[in-house]
Amino acid sequence: EVQLVESGGALVQPGGSLRLSCAASGFTFNTYTMNWFRQAPGKGLEWVSLISSSSSAIHYADSVRGRFTVSRDNAKKSLYLQMNSLRAEDTAVYYCARDYGDPWGQGTLVTVSS
Amino acid sequence: QSVLTQPPSASGTPGQRVSISCSGSSSNIGSNYVYWYQQLPGSAPKLLVYRNTQRPSEVPARFSGSKSGTSASLAISGLRSEDEADYYCAAWDDSLSGYVFGTGTKVTVL
């Protein structure tokens, strides 16, 4: 069974940093592109970042470019999202997903507030 | 802000057919695959349709996707109470080099 489990969400002050992790199992992790998505409270879905299977291609949404960094460790079957200079508008549930969302993880909540 | 446009709501009685539209542009739907997701209250999104018309094996045949030009549609036939959820379309956008989502459609079963 394909499983994605996010962790690392927390309450953080504006300007702070946080690192999210996504542990993958049940599939050949090193052959898949991975994505981060997010959903602010009561709002729709938003794509955050993409990283290709070998990390050779990386893309970011304009809203996070320069502040967030995506990475992966294929040996550990893990995906990461380093989030710096966090803002209130980054408050959301963050989901990792295999490729275009097949499947999504259960999500981890990031709250940016003083 | 969402780049793809969906109606905010749709409804039907049990057994009816409901259709949800998704309008984009040449840089997204017009040149890339469309995906549809179902999000039940309090749950993570679930993939319903990929590559415009394909369904994962566990998704019932009542759900079907189509695409024409810069628009796409999701149809739910034989509507059931458990279909009450939010539905989102998405596509890769060549201009933005990222995925763009629709505004979301809340389906209500009357």
The nearest alpha carbon in chain A to B1 belongs to A46
A44–chain B nearest CA distance, Å: 6
Q: Distance between CA atoms of B25 and B45, rounded to whole angstroms? A: 24
Q: Distance between CA atoms of A97 and A5, rounded to whole angstroms? A: 10
Predicted pLDDT of residue A112: 98
Sites in chain B below the pLDDT cut of 70: 1
Q: How far is CA B55 from CA A58, A108, B23, in A?
A: 27, 27, 20
Q: Do A61 and B98 touch (CB under 8 A)?
A: yes
- Cβ atoms of A95 and A21 within 8 Å: the answer is no
Q: Do A101 and B35 touch (CB under 8 A)?
A: yes
Spatial CA neighbour of A24 closest among A15, A37, A33, A16: A33
- What pLDDT digit, counting tens, does each position of A63-114 carry? 999 999 999 999 999 999 999 999 999 999 999 999 999 999 999 999 999 9
Q: Do A44 and B102 touch (CB under 8 A)?
A: yes
Mean of pLDDT values over A23-33: 98
Predicted pLDDT of residue B3: 86
A74 — phi, psi (to 5°)? -65, -30
Predicted pLDDT of residue B46: 98
Predicted pLDDT of residue A53: 97
Coil, helix or strand for B17?
A: coil
Q: Do A44 and B56 touch (CB under 8 A)?
A: no
Q: Do B35 and A62 touch (CB under 8 A)?
A: no
Two structure tokens written together for B48 = 């319903």
Predicted pLDDT of residue A81: 98
Whether chain A has a CB inside 8 Å of the CB on B75: the answer is no
Q: What is the average pLDDT value for chain A, to the nearest integer?
A: 98
Predicted pLDDT of residue B77: 97
Largest CA distance in chain A: 41
Say which residue the tokens 């549609």 belong to. Answer: B73
Q: What residues of chain A lie within 8 A of the CB of B55, using their CB?
A: none
